[in-house]
């Protein structure tokens, strides 16, 4: 047989036994170049790595698709793969064995995905990897062993992620850096390794001290793509370059207070202050009786690089505010706290002065108008406003709210800060008479500044009252719907009937034979004006109407009047 025929038959048999050699993925294209055979899938609607990738593929490029994860053994059929580009997908998860069966992989690019973490031990299966591109992801942590399994890496791009703090031990354990340290003073030739770490929100505090020192000292064979790394926080270091900052060592918080025992009078503002020295900046909070105090009464600000001041404001101190307040500060090294004791002097501590007696000199000319804005079964909402000039500005005026039962000699005092002109009194007893007064602080209530009210007895009574109102409204509507003519006719006919019935009823009994004929003309329209015919009842009868009178000859009949003439 001709040798050409033998070659053709061998190629045909090889193609039939190995269909994956020349086949390609639907929606993708395959090509041959200097790197070998390539698979290109651009903007294809792929949601997972294809399972039937040809075995002779050396380069895979799947971009702008809908890949969300790299599962275990994703490329077990293409062990000869050397270049893997999976840029601009939606990959969020990378399995620890997703790169298994890729011993000759040289380049892995995962730019523009949504990875928040990477299983760095997965690179044990790719000992030949030289290029790793992870820029524009969401990486926020780089563990100390991250680069341990990348001994031959020549390009690492971690730029444009969410890295804030890195330990220098990450690079001290990198085989490339270790070789460069051993080669110092020797003429050993080492290949360069490019490192990209820019455009990350670095927090320049004591935790970054070692990494900043590494960046300042790094040199060939490790080359920074951009050596001008900048700080993002804290505020007083934001925008500064690494080579411009000197970071201190980390320190456990140390809390202190200038005065740990305070005494104030009722109604006065008091500010508790504690100082915290720590690095990095700690979290600071206040507690009272084991309860976390609301943050809007707490202000914390730095006064130096390692010192902060925290203040707790207590407006219009009351006896119930007395006690121990604890200022606590904590960072990753530990926490400490300091306690401040507050004592509030009550104006009624040694006397039985009424609740609305002034606690200080009255402010002349100050008057408050009070009204009820809303009332419920168990309380009311008050509104007030000043109608005369007070000694203080309106935005600085404090008010005293006195609440209690009407017959109680002592009322509860509530102190309201400036800028507030409404207050709700709730949880009151039902069916009880109360009195509420509002006065400017240090002033006794005047006439018109007190409101007396009675709480509802029960919610069910209010519901019954609402139902009764609904029934009355419906009945009124039905009454108004009756024609006005009915009222006019009835009002005109009834008095005449009562006057004439005694004299007409006997004649009615004598003319009983004509009742059937007269009943046909008993409608309102057939009754002449002023007539009471048909309105009188016989004795013991059921209301048979009176028959019409017989007409006498020669006597004219009066004209018929319609009921419309009555109006």
H or E, element range at 560: none
Residues 6 or more apart whose Cβ sits within 8 Å of residue 443: 358, 362, 363, 366, 400
H or E, element range at 19: none
User: Count of CB atoms within 10 A of residue 2's CB?
Assistant: 7
pLDDT computed for residue 321 by the predictor: 86
Distance CA 252, CA 240 (A): 25
- Domain 29-182+189-244, architecture per CATH: Alpha-Beta Horseshoe (3.80)
Give the CA distances from residue 123 to residues 96, 113, 132, 136, 142, in Å, rounded to whole numbers and listed in that order. 9, 18, 10, 20, 15
- 385 near 422, Cβ under 8 Å? no
Distance CA 51, CA 67 (A): 14
Distance CA 467, CA 474 (A): 11
pLDDT less than 50: residues of the chain:
8, 10-21, 348-364, 389-392, 493, 497-498, 501, 505-546, 549, 551, 554-555, 560-567
pLDDT digits (tens, 9 = 90+) for 39-84: 999 877 788 898 889 989 999 999 999 999 999 988 988 999 999 9
How distant is the alpha carbon of residue 178 from its chain centre? Answer: 50
Nearest-CA neighbor of 175 among 129, 237, 136?
A: 129
Distance CA 51, CA 44 (A): 15
- 312 near 286, Cβ under 8 Å? yes
User: Is the omega angle on the peptide bond into residue 234 within 30 degrees of 0, that is, cis?
Assistant: yes
């980390």: which residue's tokens?
250
Distance CA 177, CA 91 (A): 30
For 328-352, give one letter per residue: b (16+ CB within 10 A) or e: bbbbeeeebbbbbebebeebeeeee
Q: What is the DSSP string of 367-391?
A: -EEEEEEEEETTEEEEEEEE-S--S
Give the CA distances from residue 140 to residues 113, 162, 227, in Å, rounded to whole numbers and listed in that order. 14, 5, 20
Give the CA distances from residue 239 to residues 161, 224, 228, in Å, rounded to whole numbers and listed in that order. 17, 19, 11
CATH topology of domain 251-345: Immunoglobulin-like (2.60.40)
Q: What's the mean per-residue pLDDT of the chain?
A: 78
Domains 29-182+189-244 and 251-345 share a fold: no
pLDDT computed for residue 413 by the predictor: 80
pLDDT digits (tens, 9 = 90+) for 273-320: 999 999 988 999 999 876 777 766 889 998 888 899 999 998 888 888
**What are the residue ranges spanned by the domains of the chain?**
29-182+189-244, 251-345, 367-455
Distance CA 527, CA 518 (A): 12
pLDDT computed for residue 2 by the predictor: 57
- 486 near 567, Cβ under 8 Å? no
CATH 2.60.40.10 fits 367-455, yes or no: yes
pLDDT computed for residue 395 by the predictor: 56
């Amino acid at each position: 047989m001709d040798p050409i025929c033998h070659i053709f038959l061998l190629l045909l048999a090889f193609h039939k036994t190995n269909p994956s050699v020349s086949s390609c993925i639907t929606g993708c294209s395959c090509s041959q170049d200097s790197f070998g055979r390539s698979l290109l899938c651009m903007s294809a609607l792929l949601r997972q790595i294809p399972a039937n990738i040809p075995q002779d593929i050396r380069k895979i490029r799947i971009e702008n698709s809908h890949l969300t994860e790299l599962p275990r053994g994703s490329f077990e059929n293409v062990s000869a793969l050397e270049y893997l580009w999976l840029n601009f997908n939606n990959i969020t998860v990378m399995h620890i064995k997703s790169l298994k069966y890729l011993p000759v992989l040289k380049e892995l690019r995962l730019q523009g995905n949504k990875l928040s973490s990477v299983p760095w031990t997965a690179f044990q299966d790719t000992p030949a990897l030289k290029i790793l591109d992870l820029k524009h992801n969401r990486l926020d942590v780089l563990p100390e062993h991250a680069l341990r399994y990348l001994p031959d890496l020549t390009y690492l791009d971690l730029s444009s992620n969410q890295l804030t703090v890195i330990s220098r031990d990450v690079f001290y354990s990198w085989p490339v850096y270790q070789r460069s340290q051993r080669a110092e003073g020797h003429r050993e030739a080492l290949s360069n390794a490019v490192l990209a770490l820019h455009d990350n929100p670095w927090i320049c505090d004591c935790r970054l001290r070692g990494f900043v020192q590494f960046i300042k000292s790094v040199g060939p064979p490790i080359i920074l793509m951009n050596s001008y790394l900048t700080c993002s926080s804290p505020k007083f270091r934001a925008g500064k370059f690494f080579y411009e900052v000197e970071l201190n060592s980390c320190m456990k918080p140390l809390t202190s207070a200038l005065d740990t025992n305070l005494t104030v009078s009722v109604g006065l503002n008091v500010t508790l202050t504690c100082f915290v020295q720590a690095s990095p900046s700690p979290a600071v909070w206040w507690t009272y009786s084991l309860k976390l105090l609301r943050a809007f009464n707490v202000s914390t600000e730095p006064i130096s690089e390692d010192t902060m001041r925290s203040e707790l404001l207590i407006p219009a101190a009351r006896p119930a505010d007395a006690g121990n307040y604890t200022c606590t500060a904590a960072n990753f090294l530990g926490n400490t706290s300091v306690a401040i004791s507050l004592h509030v002097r009550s104006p009624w501590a040694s006397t039985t002065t009424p609740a609305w007696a002034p606690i200080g000199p009255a402010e002349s000319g100050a008057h408050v108008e009070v009204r009820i804005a809303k009332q419920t079964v168990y309380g009311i909402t008050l509104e007030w406003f000043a109608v005369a000039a007070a000694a203080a500005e309106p935005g600085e005026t404090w008010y005293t709210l006195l609440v209690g039962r009407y017959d109680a000699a002592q009322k509860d005092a509530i102190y309201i800060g400036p800028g507030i002109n409404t207050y709700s009194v709730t949880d009151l007893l039902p069916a009880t008479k109360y009195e509420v007064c509002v006065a400017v602080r240090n002033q006794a209530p005047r006439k018109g500044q007190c409101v007396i009210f009675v709480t509802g007895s029960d919610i069910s009574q209010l519901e019954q009252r609402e139902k009764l109102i609904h029934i009355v409204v419906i009945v009124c509507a039905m009454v108004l719907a009756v024609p006005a003519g009915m009222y006019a006719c009835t009002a005109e006919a009834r008095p005449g009937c009562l006057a004439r019935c005694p004299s007409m009823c006997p004649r009615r009994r004598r003319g009983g034979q004509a009742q059937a004929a007269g009943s046909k003309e008993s409608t309102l329209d057939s009754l002449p004006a002023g007539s009471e015919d048909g309105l009188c009842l016989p004795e013991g009868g059921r209301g048979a109407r009176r028959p019409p009178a017989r007409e006498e000859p020669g006597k004219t009949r009066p004209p018929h009047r319609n009921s419309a003439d009555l109006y």
